[in-house]
Amino acid sequence: MTIAKKAQEHIRKLCAKQENIFGMEAYDHHFVSVVRYAKQLAKKTNANKEIVEVSAWLHDVGSVLGDYKNHHITGAKYAGKFLEKNNYPKEKIEAVQHCIMAHRGSKQIPRKTIEAKCLADADAMAHFDQVGSLFSLAMKTHHMSVPEAEKFILAKLQRSYKKLTPRAKKIVAEKYRATKILLKR
Ligand SMILES: [Fe+2]
Ligand SMILES: [Fe+2]
C-alpha cells in the first residue's frame, strides 16, 4: 500500500470515530475535496505529488483529534509520528510537516515550498465544493436564519477566494461565480 493510501485510510478511520465532532462529513466533504485539488495543483506546478497528497490527507488531523485552535501544530506533530511509524524518510516527513504547519490562511506562517502552497490553495478551494456544509455550519451550528446564512457563506467564499494564488483562482472561478449568482439578492 502506498503511503498516501495509508494516510487516507488512517484519516478515514479517525473521522469515523465517535469522538470526532465533525463526523464523517469532514472526510467526505473536506478531506476528499482538498486532496483532489491538491493533486490537480501538484500536477500543474510540478510539485512533489506524494508530499502534496500525504499532506492533504493529514492536514486537519489535529482538528479531527479535537484541537481545532492549534490544529496546524498538533497535526504536524501527529503526522510526524504516524509517518515515522510507517518508515517514511525523515526529509520527506519534514516536508509534509511544513505543509501542515503552514496550511492555515489565518496564521501568518510563510510557505517555503511549492508543496505547501499547493496544500494551502487546495484547503481554501475546497470551500467552493462545500456550500451545503457551509449552510449546515451557519444554520445548525451558528443558528443563523437563511438570509444570514447566505451572507455568511458569500463572505466566507470571498475571503477564501482572495487568499488563492492566481492558478487556483482560475480553477474555482466558475464555481465562485455560480455561487454568487445563486446566493446574492
Ligand atoms: Fe486546517
Ligand atoms: Fe482543511
Question: Following DSSP, what letter does each residue of 65-90 receive, concatenated?
Answer: TT--TTHHHHHHHHHHHHHHHTT--H
Q: How far apart are CA 176 and CA 164, in angstroms?
A: 12
Walk me through the domains of the chain, giving residue ranges and CATH numbers: 3-183 (1.10.3210.10)
Pick 23 or 12 by higher pLDDT.
12
The cell numbers describing 136, all together, are 449546515
Q: How far apart are CA 136 and CA 147, in angstroms?
A: 13
Amino acid 41: pLDDT: 98
The cell numbers describing 148, all together, are 444570514
Mean pLDDT of 148-173: 96
Q: Is the dihedral of CA 147, 150, 156, 157 positive or negative?
A: negative
Amino acid 22: pLDDT: 73
Cα 54 to ligand 1 centre (Å): 14
Cα 44 to ligand 1 centre (Å): 23
Cα 69 to ligand 2 centre (Å): 13
Give how far Cα 53 sits from Cα of 125, 155, 156, Å: 15, 29, 25
Confidence of residue 17 (pLDDT cuts 50, 70, 90): confident
Q: How far apart are CA 125 and CA 168, in angstroms?
A: 7
Cα 185 to ligand 1 centre (Å): 31
Write the pLDDT tens digit of every residue in 119-142: 999 999 999 998 998 998 899 889
Ligand nearest to C-alpha 133: 2
Confidence of residue 12 (pLDDT cuts 50, 70, 90): very high
